């Protein structure tokens, strides 16, 4: 979909970054430590009404990576919309429902802005004491720090490839729209 510069249109045709850029989204990367009770301080910037996470977060083992995924009401709405696009009883829908709804843990903040991660989720994601919180727009991920560091360079290379391919596709689209006989 096409949109004004600086605006991303999501797969459902909605502005992913409504309002000003950076408002109501999870941005940045934070290195943190889990304490002995598996408590994790969530950055204050993440605990806002704009992203639906002012009282707590939904947390589950990520569908796409070996980490935990979390977010507020916006993330919940994205998954619900994706699930509801599939027909009831469809095997893909049921797999998403089982993974997202059944695997989810609503986690409230304590007085210090921490969540307590369930032991089972920590084990499933292979989280040690040192973790990284990675902001991804409408969601954030919680990674074991060593696993994240090993992944980071590979993901940057993939992002560079995506930018190159996007640029190439844009150039081809411009050429296709030019009237015959205009510059190369």
Question: Where do we find the tokens 């919309």?
Answer: 81
- What integer pLDDT is reported at residue 172 of this predicted model? 80
Q: How does pLDDT run across 90-131, given as a tens digit for each residue? A: 999 999 999 999 999 999 999 999 999 999 999 999 999 999
What percent of the chain shows pLDDT beyond 70? 85
- What integer pLDDT is reported at residue 25 of this predicted model? 85
Our measurement of the distance from residue 33's CA atom to the centroid of its chain's CA atoms, rounded to an integer in Å, reads 21
| C-beta separation of 121 from 59 below 8 A | yes
Our measurement of the distance from residue 147's CA atom to the centroid of its chain's CA atoms, rounded to an integer in Å, reads 17
**Strand ranges, E, within 63-165:** 68-71, 105-108, 114-116, 130-135, 140-144
What percent of the chain shows pLDDT beyond 90? 66
User: Does the pLDDT of residue 183 top 70, yes or no?
Assistant: no
Q: How does pLDDT run across 47-84, given as a tens digit for each residue? A: 988 888 999 999 999 999 999 999 999 899 999 999 99
pLDDT band at residue 19 using 50, 70 and 90 as cut-offs: very low
Q: How far apart are CA 169 and CA 164, in angstroms?
A: 9
Q: Considering the entire predicted model, what is its pTM?
A: 0.78
Residue 108 has φ and ψ, to the nearest 5°, of: -90, 155
Nearest 5°: the CA angle 122, 127, 128 is: 125
User: Does the pLDDT of residue 13 top 60, yes or no?
Assistant: no
- What integer pLDDT is reported at residue 181 of this predicted model? 61
pLDDT band at residue 174 using 50, 70 and 90 as cut-offs: confident
Which residues on neighbouring strands pair with residue 115, listed in sequence order?
40
Which residues on neighbouring strands pair with residue 132, listed in sequence order?
31, 143
Give the mean pLDDT of the chain. Answer: 85
């Amino acid at each position: 979909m096409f949109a004004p510069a600086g605006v991303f249109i999501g797969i459902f045709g909605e502005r992913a970054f409504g309002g000003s850029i950076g408002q109501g989204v999870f941005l940045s990367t934070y290195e943190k430590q889990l304490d002995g009770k598996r408590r994790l301080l969530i950055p204050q910037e993440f605990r806002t009404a704009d992203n639906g996470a002012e009282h707590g977060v939904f947390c589950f083992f990520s569908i796409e990576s070996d980490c935990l995924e979390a977010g507020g009401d916006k993330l919940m709405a994205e998954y619900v919309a994706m699930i509801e696009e599939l027909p009831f009883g469809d095997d893909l829908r049921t797999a998403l429902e089982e993974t997202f709804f059944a695997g989810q843990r609503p986690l409230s903040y304590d007085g210090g802005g921490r969540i307590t991660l369930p032991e089972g989720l920590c084990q499933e994601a292979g989280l040690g004491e040192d973790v990284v919180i990675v902001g991804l727009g409408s969601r954030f991920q919680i990674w074991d720090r060593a696993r994240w560091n090993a992944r980071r360079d590979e993901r940057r290379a993939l992002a560079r490839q995506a930018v190159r391919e996007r640029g190439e596709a844009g150039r081809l689209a411009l050429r296709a729209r030019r009237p015959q006989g205009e510059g190369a």
